[in-house]
Structure 1
Amino acid sequence: MSGENGLQRIYFSEAMKKRLTFLIRSLENGGAEKQLITLVKNLDQKKFDLSLICFYGGGVLEKEIEKNSHIRLISLEKKGRWDLVKFWYRLFFYITEIQPDILYGYLGASHLMTILLKIFNPSTLMVWGVRSSYVDFSRYDWLESFIFKLQCFFSRFADLIIVNSYAGRDYHVGHGFPNSKMIVVPNGIDTDRYQPKPDLRAKVRSEWGVARETFLIGRIGRLDPMKDYPTFLKAAALFYKQRKDARFVCVGSGTDNYLDELLQLAKQLGIAEQVIWAGSRSDMPAVYSALDIACSSSYGEGFPNVIGEAMACGVPCVVTNVGDSAWIVGDTGIIVTPQDPEALASALLSCGERNLDEMGQKARIRIVENFSVDQLVKQTTEVLWQKV
């Protein structure tokens, strides 16, 4: 009897499985892309038949998907911005072949694709994944602003909009997104991967030429205007005036032009020798563990993964009050107003005088209890199954 019941349960599960397809521009090294991979890898194979379609192939994070044979990875081999006809043909071909029950567009341009495809696939649940809050479009290419305006208009045709932060929800509702279709599902932090690595702390510091007794403050994130590295550097200069035992590390990549601007600013501030430009790193738990304090100086965020990751690694955080940063940190760190170098420097100095080990322990507990991958997967699964 138990064997028959087991077979029946398996059969029922297979019969009820939903074809879930994600659509994203690329799998380059970014916070949203990493979060998508975390979600896809952990979704229940018994509930979903999973596919992931990328506009552009060759992203550095693709190898994470390739390790999972149950996830079908498809590249549309887009050649550039204006490679539209062949791109659309390939997209239409694969969607017709897969016939997804749910098409989940991740980030701007992918959202618009779901609306076009809805014309030909009216029974497919079209889902948007919104990953940002405030964006200063004056700092970006004109196309970014245009795509956002199109999203604001066409958002009424999406079936469901999943946003990763309350700040992001409020911002988009304020720009015309339908509140009735929006639901907040916070990011999930892999606390098994992101945990303190005291054995690697000295190794990473040695690579950077940082002594054990040096006070090290890290700014983690891509070199992007929204991350406001200039404010971080100005705060670092003020901090260094008070504590000569300090050094600062910036971990992330960006355009050569923007990096040159930041290098010049560090030189003008007199801290060029105190700032380490580490570029992108793949061993982030070890990188976080090398820090005494992690700092986020952004003036625009949704749910910043780097804050949750640093906290999971037991590192106290000083962050600007943007997006859901304050909610993530809670009472385990210090929150300051954005674009205020003096306030940021003061907060860093105050944090440095506290019991950092105790703060770090509280920070990790907060992430484990409130922002786990299990919660991300559970909430996403429940939302999708309720709607499909």
Structure 2
Amino acid sequence: MANKTKKTRVVHIITRLNTENTDGAAMMLYKLMAHTDRNRFEPIVLCLDGEAELSNRIRAHGINVYSLDMHHNITAGWQIFKLTRLLRTLQPDILQGWMYHGNLAASLANLSLGNHYPVLWNIHHPLHDISKESRTTRWVIELAAKRSTSPAHIIYNTYLNADQHNTIGYSKQRNLIIPNGFDTQLFAPNAYHRDNVRQRLGIPNDAFVIGLFAHYHPVKNHALFLEAARLLLQHKPQVHFILAGREITSLNPKLRYLLEHIPKQQHVHLLGERKDIPNLLNALDLYTLTSTYGEGFPNSVAEAMACGIPCISTDVSDVARIIGNTGQRLPIQDTTPSALAFTWLEWINAGEAWRKEVGSRAVQRIQQLYSIPTITEQYQNRYQSLVDQEQMTAMPLLTT
């Protein structure tokens, strides 16, 4: 009877598994776990924090998750000893760190084990200004920079993130760019959801609808979006706007102030935090991102594209690489409310047939370059390459 091929055991060490961290690393790890080829790989997740939203969702895929409750003191000797002891039991083939604390913990534990395993780091967090990070996080970032030659690769989800970290001392030679991946079955064109959402919101089926889905934060620049909406409504009073995200409600005094200047407030739909984002995206004719800086990977742009919705975005992060020729980028410094309103007007006047053709190209682009199976295979190819290198190194030399 033939021997079964040994599976590669990859132990993922992540800071926390809640979905509130804005860089989306935990959700990306979850999607990677859900699509890992279990015939070739055996993933295990170690969470430095306690139990969280994604812990049981990962376990539901038959993957072990350990919650270690050591997030706030990862460099203490006894904590590293605790992690090291667990790793000796698990006997991984590869250590994959996620987020700053998880990356550092992976390398320190590996150091205590004699650097026995290949290590990868994963950084999804944009680093626009390190001085704005908390003192503890800043200390971990700086300590990790000094140890950034220890991992085999540092995986960034955008080229901008890589450049920002290289600037503060992270090893450029370790750079590896693997973008976020998306479920193109969940995020897909759907005529039923388009009609259903519009009906529930009281939006006429033939109205032109523009959306922005992002939590409230000055960096997202909702003020730019709503002022442009006010200007556009002066020329196109039938247009509707859908906004969703944490604190995107009329109870937010800053949004309420902005709405006071819009004559047709009933055309601006503030939906708050929602779980049905694929449905809402399908109700749109255009998606717009108005961020000024600080974006990591702009997930909402890729999700809208996967639903066949053309995107207009300020030129932040890796938007240019994501959109390609399927939307429009606006220079941040030149994007005034009047410029954005005029751009919207151009897309309205271009006609439905042209927008659908652009939307179709957007769907194809996401399916080809950013689908979660495609991105998962990029991770798995890197894991396999590291295992092959380890085996070649361990192989005895043949002598004649």
Q: If the length of structure 2 is used for normalisation, what is the TM-score?
A: 0.83
Residue 169 of structure 1: CA displacement? Answer: 2.0
Partner of 2:369: 370
What is the letter of the counterpart of residue 37 of structure 1?
Y
What is the letter of the counterpart of residue 114 of structure 1?
A
Q: In the aligned structure 2, how far is the partner of 1:42 from the partner of 1:157?
A: 28
Listed as ranges, the matches of 1:179-218 within 5 Å are: 179-218=172-211
Query: Does residue 1:341 correspond to 2:339, yes or no?
Result: no
Partner of 1:21: 12
Partner of 1:118: 110
Residue 294 of structure 1: CA displacement? Answer: 1.0
Residue 72 of structure 1: CA displacement? Answer: 1.0
Partner of 2:294: 300
Residue 68 of structure 1: CA displacement? Answer: 0.5
CA contact (8 A) 2:120 2:154 kept: yes
Q: Which moved more, 1:129-138 or 1:154-163?
A: 129-138
Inter-CA distance 136–217: structure 2 relative to 1 (3 Å threshold): farther
Q: In the aligned structure 2, how far is the partner of 1:363 from the partner of 1:195?
A: 11
Q: In the aligned structure 2, how far is the partner of 1:291 from the partner of 1:159?
A: 43
Partner of 1:249: 242
Residue 188 of structure 1: CA displacement? Answer: 1.9
Q: In the aligned structure 1, how far is the partner of 2:137 from the partner of 2:268?
A: 31
Query: Does residue 1:168 correspond to 2:147, yes or no?
Result: no
CA contact (8 A) 1:165 1:323 kept: yes
Q: In the aligned structure 2, how far is the partner of 1:58 from the partner of 1:148?
A: 24
Inter-CA distance 259–107: structure 2 relative to 1 (3 Å threshold): farther
Partner of 1:319: 313
Partner of 1:129: 122
CA contact (8 A) 1:77 1:87 kept: no
Inter-CA distance 213–67: structure 2 relative to 1 (3 Å threshold): same
Partner of 1:151: 144
Name the SS for the 2:230 alignment partner: helix
Count of residue pairs brought into register by the alignment = 377
Question: Residues 35-57 of structure 1, C-alpha deviation per residue, up to 9 Å, x if partnerless?
Answer: 22111211111222211222344
CA contact (8 A) 1:289 1:313 kept: yes
What is the letter of the counterpart of residue 42 of structure 2?
D
Question: Residues 111-130 of structure 1, C-alpha deviation per residue, up to 9 Å, x if partnerless?
Answer: 22223223223212221112
Inter-CA distance 147–22: structure 2 relative to 1 (3 Å threshold): closer
Q: In the aligned structure 2, how far is the partner of 1:228 from the partner of 1:147?
A: 30
Inter-CA distance 137–293: structure 2 relative to 1 (3 Å threshold): farther
Listed as ranges, the matches of 1:254-273 within 5 Å are: 259-267=252-260, 273=266
Partner of 1:280: 273
Pick aligned residue for 1:310 from 297, 300, 304: 304
Partner of 2:34: 41
- In structure 2, stretches of 5+ residues that fail to align are 388-400
Q: In the aligned structure 2, how far is the partner of 1:33 from the partner of 1:370?
A: 21
Question: Residues 228-279 of structure 1, C-alpha deviation per residue, up to 9 Å, x if partnerless?
Answer: 33333333333333322222222222599x9543443444566754433322
Query: Does residue 1:238 correspond to 2:231, yes or no?
Result: yes
Q: Percent of pairs identical after alignment?
A: 28
Query: Does residue 1:178 correspond to 2:206, yes or no?
Result: no
CA contact (8 A) 1:135 1:226 kept: no
Residue 87 of structure 1: CA displacement? Answer: 6.7
Name the SS for the 1:279 alignment partner: coil
| RMSD between superposed Cα atoms in Å | 3.0
Name the SS for the 2:65 alignment partner: strand
Listed as ranges, the matches of 1:18-97 within 5 Å are: 18-29=9-20, 31-69=24-62, 71-77=63-69, 81=72, 91-97=83-89
Query: Does residue 1:332 correspond to 2:326, yes or no?
Result: yes
Larger radius of gyration: 2
Q: Which moved more, 1:365-374 or 1:230-239?
A: 230-239
Inter-CA distance 349–139: structure 2 relative to 1 (3 Å threshold): farther
Name the SS for the 1:19 alignment partner: strand
CA contact (8 A) 1:25 1:109 kept: no
Residue 26 of structure 1: CA displacement? Answer: 2.0
CA contact (8 A) 1:20 1:48 kept: no
CA contact (8 A) 2:158 2:317 kept: yes
Residue 385 of structure 1: CA displacement? Answer: 2.2
Q: In the aligned structure 2, how far is the partner of 1:378 from the partner of 1:263?
A: 45
CA contact (8 A) 2:209 2:240 kept: yes
Residue 310 of structure 1: CA displacement? Answer: 0.9
- In structure 1, stretches of 5+ residues that fail to align are none
Partner of 2:395: none
Inter-CA distance 374–26: structure 2 relative to 1 (3 Å threshold): closer
CA contact (8 A) 1:246 1:274 kept: yes
What is the letter of the counterpart of residue 219 of structure 1?
L
Q: Which moved more, 1:349-358 or 1:150-159?
A: 150-159
Inter-CA distance 255–283: structure 2 relative to 1 (3 Å threshold): closer
Q: In the aligned structure 2, how far is the partner of 1:364 from the partner of 1:338?
A: 25
Q: In the aligned structure 1, how far is the partner of 2:310 from the partner of 2:197?
A: 18
Residue 350 of structure 1: CA displacement? Answer: 1.9
